[in-house]
Structure 1
């Protein structure tokens, strides 16, 4: 029953195409084959629900404004190869939101507008080989969120910028073979990108010394880039600039790369001298503090009776007589002993209790 239905559908499509008079062939899967028909525009008589359209090897005219195929919003596959498109203008495919494969091979394309693929968020495969593209601008990749396969073989690209390479990191399959790549220092990002992707057969076209060599197999010296050196944190910026500048010239034979031991030795010597000076200063300060805290005996003081204070008391006592003695009693031995804070007892020290009876006896004798 199913084969009979398919035959019936194919017969109806064939009869419909004969009646409508378009030169394209239709199959039961919704594919329209219009290649090599010398067409200037896609036939408007084709069904609008077709899912595949082959317009290769024709003479299509690209409109200056609007879309190229505005009557076929259900297309999943579109082949426009071998048409002289030259320039792709903004949003030329914006109505083909279901498109998954777009073949633009051999279309002599020299320029891609940054919005040329606007609206193709579901595009899976983009074929741009055998064109005349010299460079890829960064916004060209932004609408292609689902891109899996990008074919850029056999264009005239000599370099590619770092930002475009970063965007191509999200594309699993990228073909760059057959371009005249210039293998100089500017190709170092491409060389590193190819090494990460393990891409082969991407060869140099210039300079002559590197012609035919694989870009991924080159290193910084082959590309003529100055080598970057890593410096320890203790090396100053001025020293880094000096060393970097010295790398641009040819070092003398037998002396290149031998200066770092001298620098290390100088730093070690400076640190050792600083430590010795600090130790000497600390030792001197220690001896000074030790000498100041050594125990010394207190100087000998004069006897209590010979002190100026006691002399003054004796003079006052002799001039004022007994009444002054009574009004100013002599200090007791306990008080004198408390005031004596040097801990020594003088030989000529006389207790006040022994001195008072002698004075009273002398005064009694004078009164008699």
Structure 2
């Protein structure tokens, strides 16, 4: 730890390094830093263990930077961290247990990461206290129900602005959303399906169980027997057709040859 970093301003436990055109995080911070803003810079990466010495840190603002990944162990020692803003970055993947050490998180903002296309089912493991999660305006076409089911304290969820694919795999998530919508502030009405074409533009929660009926169609023994019978009939018809075509072709050939002989 150290004094107030160059280009930053410090007031009490708040360290403000926002909008300083920084390409890297300040190497030293006051040990009692409770609120750290690195927003509106050009930071592309944060060193592993960067927060390990700052046990008093409660809020970390990294919005509007160039982060493409979060290193393993970034939040080691940050058990008091309650507010984390990673919006407006270039994140593409949230791996398993990436926030595991930040078990005290209450609010997590991951919005406006247009390249964020995959969230591991265990990305949010350990965040039992998380109350607000913002995943809006990313590149998500799907998200595992497992990723959200492990957040018992969640009361705010934002999913709008993603290219959701509302196929059969989406049904469990939609059932969960409907069950939570009464006690979970959500922008699900703003979240729309991008595909398949028949539901493109439809709000997620406008899809009902009837929308997924085709996903549950099962064939009975009679159905299989009928399909087998139809296949058998079609194959017989195909053989018969080929046989008739062969006879016809042979007759035509003989007739043509006979005509040539008569001409001679």
TM-score (norm 1): 0.53
2:202 alignment counterpart: 213
2:262 alignment counterpart: none
- Equivalent residue in structure 2 for 1:200, among 169, 179, 189: 189
Shift in Å, 1:243: 6.6
Q: Structure 2: state its 5+ residue gaps.
A: 182-187, 228-264
Secondary structure of the residue aligned to 1:138 is coil
Higher relative contact order (CA 8 A, sep 6+): 2
Shift in Å, 1:108: 0.6
Shift in Å, 1:44: 4.4
Q: Label 1:228 to 1:171 Cα distance change in 2 as closer, same or farther (>3 A).
A: farther
1:98 alignment counterpart: 80
Q: Structure 1: state its 5+ residue gaps.
A: 1-15, 230-239, 249-368
2:26 counterpart of 1:43: yes
2:245 alignment counterpart: none
Q: Label 1:165 to 1:23 Cα distance change in 2 as closer, same or farther (>3 A).
A: closer
Aligned residues: 219
Shift in Å, 1:61: 4.4
2:60 counterpart of 1:78: yes
Distance 1:168 1:228 in 2: 32
Which has more strand, going by share of residues? 2
- Equivalent residue in structure 1 for 2:117, among 134, 150, 153: 134
Secondary structure of the residue aligned to 2:133 is strand
2:211 counterpart of 1:222: yes
- Equivalent residue in structure 2 for 1:59, among 31, 39, 42: 42
1:181 alignment counterpart: 164
User: Which deviations, in whole Å up to 9, do the C-alpha atoms of 1:61-107 show, x marking residues without a partner?
Assistant: 4256x313344321100001111110112111112121100100011
2:138 alignment counterpart: 155
Distance 1:47 1:195 in 2: 46
CA RMSD of aligned residues (A): 2.8
2:10 alignment counterpart: 26
User: Which deviations, in whole Å up to 9, do the C-alpha atoms of 1:242-268 show, x marking residues without a partner?
Assistant: 37769x9xxxxxxxxxxxxxxxxxxxx
1:264-303 counterparts in 2 under 5 A?
Answer: none
